């Protein structure tokens, strides 16, 4: 066999490429078609909804698509925004930063004027730089990383949820004030969200003369068991545990603590304030504290929104539904009040105009945080989260 290297390779490459181009252009046409047919006299206003719509964290992302859809349907039924229809561009980022950046360029390419999203803080951060450059407002219903607003890097970012430092503040005040614990163990899952929160909690405790951090540790998500860490909490003499992270690890740690006859309070965050946590941890969930958005289910707009969701999708809405509903309402309101779709006008309207949402009547401050949105402390009582007043 005396053939020189890569003899048939270039030909294969050429065939491959041709097949590829044809396939791809075919796909592009399909994507393009419906947009063209929907065009009316005035070009529609395009709102992009980007977040995790598939994968492990889909349950956090899908409710926001539905929320936006409900608001948009309602508006379009009543002649849209000043006669212009609203159109949704839904894009999936699976909560992965590299895909979030791709999704961002995709919606910009498709002509989005504002973005509802993203869902996870890391993905949001990856996409915000791109939106900033393209002068697009992005409003997240769920990204709680404090730096997103506090760093001042992203004047185009807004959110309808309070940031993690507010949550950590509440946790620490509760543990030191109400529970009167002095020695506190702070744990986290080494993730963007969990570790950030735990670091704030640690900082707040250290600044407070009433308490001390006796243990600050990151656990390994997905480990076979957590008995070593649980033993260490026991050994440290902690009187309370503050945990930053999501519910799967939290429920493992709580169950192992309780099975080892450790009864100290376990305080966590809105990643744990999810009914799945109670169901998975079962009896061991009883008595666990978690912070979460202030309960606004008795707000009339919230009742209306939940009813609309039930009518359309036949089930109760999922996580961050009301936050996403509020975000979409706020953006639509900004379009109306600004009477324009350009960046400066929308930002100005968001910062100055109050708007009635399921979360209450809100407006945004200079940094992009919503005024009037906060956290409350909940406790599992009888298999349900109950707000502690």
Partner 1 sequence: MDPKEEIKKSFIAAIWFMFLTFPIMVVRVDTIEHTVTWRWERLIWVGAAFFLLSFIWRRLLDRKLTGPSATDTAPAHAAPRWKHLTADSRLKRPALAAAALFFLAVPLLFSWNKTILVTNALIYVVIALGLNIVVGLAGQLVLGYVAFFAVGAYGYALLNLHYAVGFWSALPIGAALAALFGLLLGFPVLRLRGDYLAIVTLGFGEIIRIVLENWNELSFGPSGIDNIPPPDFFGLILNLRQTHIAIYYLMVVLTLLTILVVSRLQHSRIGRSWEALREDETAAQAMGIDTTRAKLSAFALGACWAGMGGVVFAAKQKFINPGNFTIWESILVLCIVVLGGMGSITGVVLAALVLVILPEALRVFADYRWLVFGAMLVLVMVFRPEGLVRARRRVYAFEPTESDKTEGP
Partner 2 sequence: MNWDYLLSLFMGGLTRGSIYALIALGYTMVYGIISLINFAHGEIYMIGAFTALIVIGVLTLAGWNGMAILLIAAAAAVVYAAAYGWTMERIAYRPLRRAPRLSALISAIGMSLFLQNYVRMAQTANFLPFPNLIPDFACLKPVAHIVRASEIVIYAVTALVMLLLTLLVKFTRMGKAMRATAQDREMAMLSGVDVDQVISLTFIIGSAIAAIGGVLIASHVGQINFYIGFLAGIKAFVAAVLGGIGSMPGAVLGGLVLGWTESFFTGYVSSDYEDVFAFLFLVGILIFRPSGLLGRKQTEKV
> Which does residue 145 touch among partner 2, partner 1, none (CB within 5 to 8 A, set by kind)?
partner 1
CB nearer partner 2, residue 59 or residue 379: 59
Q: How many C-beta neighbours within 10 Å does residue 217 have?
A: 14
By CB under 8 A, the residues from 58 to 77 that bind partner 2 are 58-59
220 binds partner 2 (CB under 8 A): yes
Provide the strand spans (E) within 294-383. Answer: 355-357, 360-364, 370-371, 375-381
- Is 301 in contact with 358 (CB distance < 8 Å)? yes
CB nearer partner 2, residue 190 or residue 337: 190
DSSP H helix total and E strand total for the chain: 13, 15
Window of 75-83, 100-108, 255-263, 374-382 that interacts with partner 1 by CB under 8 A: 100-108
125 binds partner 1 (CB under 8 A): yes
By CB under 8 A, the residues from 81 to 140 that bind partner 2 are none
- Contact pick of 56, 73, 98, 316 for partner 2 (by CB under 8 A): 56
Asked if residue 118 has a cis previous peptide bond (ω within 30° of 0), the answer is yes
Identify the CA nearest to 268 among candidates 172, 362, 365.
172
Cα–Cα distances (Å) from 372 to 37, 190, 252, 361, in that order, read 41, 30, 34, 7
Give the number of residues in contact with partner 1, rule: CB under 8 A: 57
CA distance 45 to 203: 44
Name the DSSP letter for residue 284. G
CA distance 190 to 121: 14
Site string for partner 1, 217-236 (x = CB under 8 A): -x------------------
- Is 137 in contact with 346 (CB distance < 8 Å)? yes
* CB 130 to partner 2: min, Å: 29
Sign of the Cα pseudo-torsion (26, 34, 101, 63, in order): negative
* CB 280 to partner 2: min, Å: 5
- Contact pick of 234, 276, 341, 379 for partner 1 (by CB under 8 A): 276
* CB 57 to partner 2: min, Å: 9
Site string for partner 1, 38-77 (x = CB under 8 A): ----------------x-----------------------
Q: Which positions lie near partner 2, rule CB under 8 A?
A: 55-56, 58-59, 190, 217-220, 222-225, 227-229, 231-232, 234-235, 247-248, 251-252, 255-256, 259-262, 276, 279-282
């Amino acid at each position: 066999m005396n053939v020189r290297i890569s003899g048939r390779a270039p030909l294969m490459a050429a065939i491959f490429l041709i097949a590829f181009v044809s396939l791809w252009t075919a796909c592009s046409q399909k994507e393009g078609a419906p947009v063209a047919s929907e065009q009316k006299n005035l070009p529609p206003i395009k709102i992009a909804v980007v977040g995790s719509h598939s994968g492990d964290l889909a349950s956090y992302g899908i409710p926001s698509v539905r929320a936006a859809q409900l608001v948009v349907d309602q508006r379009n039924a009543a002649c849209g925004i000043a006669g212009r229809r609203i159109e949704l561009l839904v894009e999936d980022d699976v909560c992965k930063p590299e895909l979030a950046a791709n999704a961002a360029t995709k919606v910009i390419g498709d002509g989005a004027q504002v973005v509802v999203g993203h869902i996870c803080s890391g993905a949001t951060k990856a996409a915000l730089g791109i939106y900033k450059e393209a002068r697009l407002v992005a409003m997240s219903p769920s990204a709680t990383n404090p730096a997103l607003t506090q760093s001042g890097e992203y004047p185009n970012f807004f959110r309808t949820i309070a940031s993690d430092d507010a949550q950590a503040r509440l946790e620490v005040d509760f543990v030191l004030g109400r529970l009167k614990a002095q020695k506190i163990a702070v744990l986290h899952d080494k993730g963007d969200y969990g570790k950030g929160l735990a670091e704030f909690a640690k900082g707040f405790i250290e600044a407070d003369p009433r308490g001390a951090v006796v243990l600050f540790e990151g656990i390994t998500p997905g480990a076979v068991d957590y008995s070593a860490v649980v033993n260490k909490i026991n050994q440290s003499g902690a009187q309370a545990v503050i945990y930053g992270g999501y519910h799967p690890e939290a429920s493992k740690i709580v169950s192992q603590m309780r099975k080892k006859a450790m009864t100290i309070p376990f305080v966590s965050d809105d990643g744990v304030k999810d009914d799945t946590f109670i169901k998975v941890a079962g009896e061991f969930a009883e008595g666990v504290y978690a912070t979460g958005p202030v309960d606004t289910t008795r707000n009339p707009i919230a009742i209306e929104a939940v009813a609309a969701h039930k009518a359309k999708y036949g089930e109760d809405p999922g996580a961050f539904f009301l936050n996403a509903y509020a975000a979409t309402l706020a953006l639509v309101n900004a379009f109306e009040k600004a009477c324009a779709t350009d960046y400066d006008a929308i930002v100005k309207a968001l910062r100055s105009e109050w708007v009635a949402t399921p979360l209450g009547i809100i407006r945004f401050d200079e940094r992009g945080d919503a005024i009037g949105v906060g956290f409350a402390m909940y406790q599992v009582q009888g298999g349900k989260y109950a707000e502690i007043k």
